[in-house]
């Protein structure tokens, strides 16, 4: 099953007349079944957020494969989001692995550099239909 970018997930939620989308931070793979159980029980789309540290520890590809597998078996529209990442190379790794949404966090930089880096991330993500927060 494909992973939805955030804009696509919003469209699903709107079509189903949902006022909110469950978005959960994943710290270990054992949490995944509970996320999908809750989403399935409420017929809700699902956003799974992962920190860079967790993605690097568990493995970007393993996360994508695990989430895709559960999304398909549970028939839940799902967005896999790399959250608050300050490293453009890690964002590229996540996108290459199949993440469908990323958030660039340049809050530690001066405004001009933050904007320039956010634009770089948008350019990278746009080519792969990945949504970006920044």
- In the beta sheet, which residues pair with residue 103? 133
> Which tokens belong to 120?
């770089």
Q: Kindly list the strands in the beta sheet with 101-104, ordered across the sheet, starting from the edge strand earlier in the chain.
A: 22-26, 46-51, 78-85, 101-104, 131-133
Q: Active site includes 83?
A: yes
Q: How far apart are CA 79 and CA 121, in angstroms?
A: 18
Spot the catalytic one: 65, 83, 105, 110. 83
Closest to 83 in 3D by CA, of 105, 111, 115, 61: 105
Query: Up-side HSE of residue 78: CA atoms within 13 Å toward CB?
Result: 31
Catalytic residues: 83
């Amino acid at each position: 099953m494909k992973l939805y970018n955030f804009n696509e997930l919003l469209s699903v939620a709107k079509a189903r007349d949902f006022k909110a989308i469950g978005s959960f931070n994943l710290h270990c793979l054992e949490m995944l079944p509970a996320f999908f159980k809750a989403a399935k029980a409420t017929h809700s789309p699902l956003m799974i957020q992962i920190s860079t540290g967790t993605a690097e520890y568990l493995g970007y590809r393993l996360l994508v494969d695990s989430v895709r597998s559960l999304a398909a078996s549970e028939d839940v529209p799902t967005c896999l989001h790399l959250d608050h990442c300050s490293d453009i190379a890690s964002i590229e790794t996540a996108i290459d692995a199949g993440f469908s949404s990323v958030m660039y966090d340049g809050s530690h930089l001066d405004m001009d550099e933050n904007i320039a880096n956010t634009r770089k991330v948008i350019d990278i993500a746009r080519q792969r239909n990945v949504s970006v927060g920044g």
